Amino acid sequence: MHPNFAKAAEGPAVPIFFVNAAMIDEATGTLDDRARAFVRASGYEPKAGRHLLVPGADGQLAGVLFGIEAADAATKDLFRPGQLATLLPAGLYRFANTPHDTRLAALAFALGAYQFTRYRKADARNARLVVPDGVDGDDLTRIVEGVTLARDLINTPSNDMGPQELEDAARVVASQHGAKFNVTAGETLEKNFPLIHAVGMGSPRSPRLIDFTWGKESDPKITLVGKGVCFDTGGLDIKPDSAMLNMKKDMGGAATALGLAHMIMARGLKVRLRVLIPAVENSVSGKSFRPRDIFKSRKGLTVEIGNTDAEGRLVLADALALADEDKPVLIADFATLTGAARVALGPDVPPFFTDDDALSDELMRAGTTEQDPLWRLPLWRPYEAMLDSKIADTNNVSTGGQGGAITAALFLRKFVDAKSWLHLDIFAWTLSAKPGRPEGAECMSARALYALLTKRYS
C-alpha cells in the first residue's frame, strides 16, 4: 500500500471533519465541550479549503476541521481534500464523516503529498490516511504509483532524461511486470521508422523506438503511444527562449503512457498491452532535418517539412503506423503536441480527438467521474486541405496557422486506419499548485482512460 495510506488496525487516528455552514454543528457535535469551546473561540469559518487543528485536553489533536463546498454549490472541487497532505502535521488520520466523494478525497490526499526531491531535499510529508471503508486502497495505490512515475519523469531535467534515460525508465516498468521489451535504433530505425530518425538525427543522443508488450496474446489488444521528445529546441526553426524554457516536459506523453501502463499491468487487466515510445531529442546541428526536406514515412506517405518545430507529430506518425499494423481494438496516443490546444481549452483541460462516438462518450463520463477532465474536439475533415503539399503527399503543418490542434490531429489521422483511435493533446504540467496537484509535472488523462479500461476489461 502507498506510504500515505494506512489500515485501520494500525492504531488510533485523528478524525478529519469535513464541514461547511450546513454541516459544522453536526460535525463538531462529536467533540467534547472543551474542544467545541475552542472551535467557537477560534472564530473558524467553514469556507472551502480552510482548516482548523483542534487540541484535546491531553495536548494531542482531538480533530481537524476542513472546509468543503456546500452540497448544492454550482461547482465542487472533489480534489480539495488534497490540500490536507500539505497542511497536517505528521500522524495518522481518518475521515470522520463523508466528503463529496470519499474515494477521490482519499486519492487526492495521497497525490497532494507528492514531492520531487531528486535535486533538493524537502521536509517529508508524513500525514497518513486510514483508507476509508468501501474504498479499494490497493487500486488507489496503483493509481498514485502511476501518477508519481509520470510526474517524476516529466520533472526530471533533460540533462538527466534523454532518449537513453527514457529507455531505461521504460525498461524498469516493463521488467517490473514481466513485459517483453525491444528497442529499435541506428540503421534499423532509419530504414523502418524514417520520421523518428529524421527528428532525432541532429542530436548526439541517438533516437530510438521503445516497444514493450504484456499480457496474453488472446486478450484484446490495447496499444498506448507516447510522444518522447526529451527536449525540443524547435530544431532549425528554433524556439524563442521563453518557449524553450519548459521543453523538458515534451516527453510528457511518454511519461503518461508509462504511468497508465503501470496502472493497467499492476491491476492485471485482461488485455494484450503494447506500449510504443518514439524517444528523440530535437536539436540544432549540421545534421538536423531542415524545412522543405521530404521524408517517406513508415506508412509510405511522403511528408514535406513545413516546420521543424512540428516534430512531435512526425515521431508519432511512424509509431502510430506500427501500432495500426497490429489492428488493436484501441490505440491511444498521448502528446504534448500543440500550443493551440492550450489556447482553445487552457492548461487544465486536454482536448481529445476520435471518430468513435461511443468511446468519446465513455471517456467524457470517466473524466468527469475521476476528476480528470477532458473535452472532445472535432476531426474536421475539411481542414485536411490546410495540410496539402505541392510536392509531397502531405505537409507536417497547416497553412494559415488556425485550428492548430485540429490540423495536427488530422495529420496523425493519415497514419491510422483504426476507428477506435484516441489522440490526447495534453499539457502535462500544473502552472500553479491546486489541491492534489502540486506545481510542476502532471499526469493528465491517464486516470480517466484507466477507469474506462478497468470498466471494460477487469
Catalytic residue among 36, 94, 205, 239: 239
Supply the pLDDT for residue 400.
87
Supply the pLDDT for residue 401.
84
Supply the pLDDT for residue 215.
98
Give the span between the Cα atoms of 125 and 4, in whole angstroms: 9
End residue of a domain, out of 82, 102, 129: 129
Residue 238 lies in a domain: yes
Q: Are 29 and 91 part of one and the same domain? A: yes
CA 348 to chain centre: 11
Residue in the block written with cell 511522403? 302
Q: Is 270 a catalytic residue?
A: no
**DSSP strand pairing (440-441 vs 394-395):** unpaired
Supply the pLDDT for residue 444.
98
Give the span between the Cα atoms of 425 and 336, in whole angstroms: 6
Residue 152 lies in a domain: yes
Which grid coordinates are listed for 341?
Answer: 490546444
Residue 203 lies in a domain: yes
Q: Are 48 and 116 part of one and the same domain? A: yes
Residue type, 144: V
CATH code of the domain containing 396:
3.40.630.10
End residue of a domain, out of 108, 129, 150: 129
Residue 136 lies in a domain: no
Which of 57, 117, 119, 47 has its CA nearest to residue 83? 47
Q: Are 383 and 358 part of one and the same domain? A: yes
End residue of a domain, out of 129, 154, 183: 129
Q: Report helix, strand or coil for 109.
A: helix
Which of 82, 87, 81, 89 has its CA nearest to residue 59? 89
CATH code of the domain containing 17:
3.40.220.10
Give the span between the Cα atoms of 236 and 229, in whole angstroms: 16
Q: Are 436 and 337 part of one and the same domain? A: yes
Q: Are 208 and 119 part of one and the same domain? A: no
Residue 150 lies in a domain: yes
Which grid coordinates are listed for 444?
Answer: 493528465
Residue 134 lies in a domain: no
Q: Are 389 and 334 part of one and the same domain? A: yes
Q: Are 155 and 237 part of one and the same domain? A: yes
Q: Are 206 and 353 part of one and the same domain? A: yes
Q: Are 194 and 105 part of one and the same domain? A: no
Q: Are 421 and 449 part of one and the same domain? A: yes
Asked if 213 and 319 touch (Cβ cutoff 8 Å), the reply is no
What residues have CB less than 8 Å from 306, skipping those under 6 apart? 291, 292, 389, 395, 396, 397
Residue 30 lies in a domain: yes
Helix 312-325 / helix 404-413 crossing angle, nearest 10 deg: 30
Mean pLDDT in consecutive groups of 10 residues from the start of the chain, 458 residues:
90 95 89 92 95 92 96 92 96 96 98 96 91 97 98 98 98 98 98 98 98 98 98 98 96 98 98 98 98 98 98 98 98 98 97 98 98 98 97 96 96 96 98 96 98 97
Give the span between the Cα atoms of 319 and 335, in whole angstroms: 12
Number of domains the chain is built from? 2
Give the span between the Cα atoms of 441 and 331, in whole angstroms: 24
Q: Are 219 and 295 part of one and the same domain? A: yes
Asked if 148 and 447 touch (Cβ cutoff 8 Å), the reply is no
Supply the pLDDT for residue 419.
87
Residue in the block written with cell 504511468? 259
In terms of residue numbers, what domain contains 430?
Answer: 141-457
Taking only the tens place, the pLDDT of each residue in 317-348 is 999 999 999 999 999 999 999 999 999 999 99
Backbone angles phi, psi at 424, to 5 degrees: -115, 120
Give the span between the Cα atoms of 341 and 274, in whole angstroms: 27
Q: Is 239 a catalytic residue?
A: yes
Catalytic residue among 142, 221, 313, 342: 313
Query: What would the DSSP string read from start to end of 113-181?
Result: T----SSS------EEEEPPTT--HHHHHHHHHHHHHHHHHHHS-GGG-SHHHHHHHHHHHHHHTT-EE
Asked if 273 and 215 touch (Cβ cutoff 8 Å), the reply is yes
Give the span between the Cα atoms of 103 and 101, in whole angstroms: 6
| Distance (Å) of CA 353 to CA 221, 259, 446 | 20, 21, 15
Q: Are 347 and 247 part of one and the same domain? A: yes
Residue 135 lies in a domain: no
CB atoms within 10 A of CB 292: 11
**DSSP strand pairing (302-304 vs 294-296):** antiparallel
